[in-house]
């Protein structure tokens, strides 16, 4: 009977869940940026978000990743609050 083998790059459950959380924040960030009325600002924010996530893509330190998730959530909340105030 052959044993199931995982590729050497297989993620642990914890890493998989963390990756899903990061991707969810990234998608929420891009959706929120789509609501920015000014095209120039929208492009700037989209490029900034992409650069930040790409720059940290290879991070493996779990504490650093948790800190980056917290920072990304704060940035997202600030952007959402700014958009809400702009609509008022």
What is the tens place of the pLDDT at every residue in 29-65?
Answer: 999 999 999 999 999 999 999 999 999 998 888 899 9
Percent of the chain past pLDDT 70, that is, above it, reads 92
CB 44, CB 88: distance < 8 Å? no
In 3D, which of 51, 41, 48, 47 has the Cα closest to residue 86?
41
pLDDT of residue 4: 65
Q: Return d(Cα 86, Cα 79) in angstroms, integer.
A: 11
First to last CA, the chain: 66
pTM of the entire predicted model: 0.82
Q: Return d(Cα 85, Cα 36) in angstroms, integer.
A: 12
pLDDT of residue 2: 55
Residue 75 has pLDDT above 90, yes or no: yes
pLDDT of residue 10: 81
E-assigned strand segments in 1-88: none
């Amino acid at each position: 009977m052959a044993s199931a083998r995982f590729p050497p790059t297989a993620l642990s459950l914890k890493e998989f869940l963390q990756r899903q959380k990061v991707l969810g924040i990234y998608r929420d960030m891009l959706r929120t940026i789509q609501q920015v009325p000014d095209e120039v600002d929208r492009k700037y924010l989209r490029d900034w978000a992409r650069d930040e996530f790409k720059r940290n893509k290879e991070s493996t330190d779990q504490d650093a990743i948790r800190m980056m998730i917290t920072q990304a959530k704060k940035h997202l909340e600030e952007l959402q609050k700014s958009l809400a105030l702009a609509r008022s």
